[in-house]
Structure 1
């Protein structure tokens, strides 16, 4: 039973990650900084799920729960930024700019999409993608915890 729960939890994170990539590449909605932060724990949860199917025990499922709770926390924080409850990060990240002339650099800056963390590009039932990620990730954390509890009872 715990293996099935691990598969469900890992596939849930994979589905949320693929959904985010679909919005980005098919829906033409570039992610903001907080959107990226929500993706990393899902990727970790998928990797943890693969390892948890190979290595028995409750430790890896608990790590999967921690990953799901991490992305839920960032999603909740992002929701607060979108709703104006608190301010988001004031800094942005950028890639290396070596080898570009000033004109090329300015052209690259002007062509880059401006993605703000406090704007909601899509919502369903008045909840943004960040809100839905937080809710779904809390559910996935519960599945991970159930898998860990089953593993502890077996061991």
Structure 2
């Protein structure tokens, strides 16, 4: 497979994963903080793929690999939070409330959506969306690496 085709495949993979996230959101699965964090590297990978297709850069596929590996790592972290292997960000999971008045707490609760990072909203074959993002993103990182090491 040519470098161009590998870049197209990796870019399309990020488009599909990001598009899938938006489809789930449209179906009522609101994203949590960690879900949103996982989207940004896919957006970067899509931009990088576009830049490579226009410039033919040999360096940029490495940035694509870093973007895909980053979202994969965030996905692993998020999946670990979901299965309670470790605690997620305190603004993302329930925890003690300190230093807030009752009015401040009520205002914060009323203003924020109640989407928790430590609950699995959907899974397939026992793997959550975060887990699937991690698996597929690491596969995309491998494709990016193949593109980076392939001769033009």
Hey, what's the Cα distance between the residues in 1 that align with 2:111 and 2:70?
A: 33
Residue 99 (structure 2) aligns with: none
Residue 100 (structure 2) aligns with: none
Unaligned runs of 5+ in 2: 93-102
Hey, what's the Cα distance between the residues in 2 that align with 1:68 and 1:20?
A: 15
Q: Residue deviations 1:15-65, cap 9 Å, x none?
A: 00000000001x201000000000000000000000011112321101000
Q: Provide TM-score, normalisation by structure 1.
A: 0.84
Residue 65 (structure 1) aligns with: 65
Hey, what's the Cα distance between the residues in 2 that align with 1:55 and 1:87?
A: 42
Q: Tell whether 2:15 aligns with 1:14.
A: yes
Q: Residue deviations 1:122-150, cap 9 Å, x none?
A: 00000000000000000000110111111
| 8 Å CA contact retained: 1:31, 1:115 | yes
Unaligned runs of 5+ in 1: 93-101
Give me the CA root mean square deviation.
1.7
Q: Provide TM-score, normalisation by structure 2.
A: 0.86
Runs of at least 4 residues off by over 4 Å: none
Hey, what's the Cα distance between the residues in 1 that align with 2:23 and 2:58?
A: 33
Aligned length: 139
Residue 98 (structure 1) aligns with: none
Helix, strand or coil: the match of 1:62?
Answer: helix
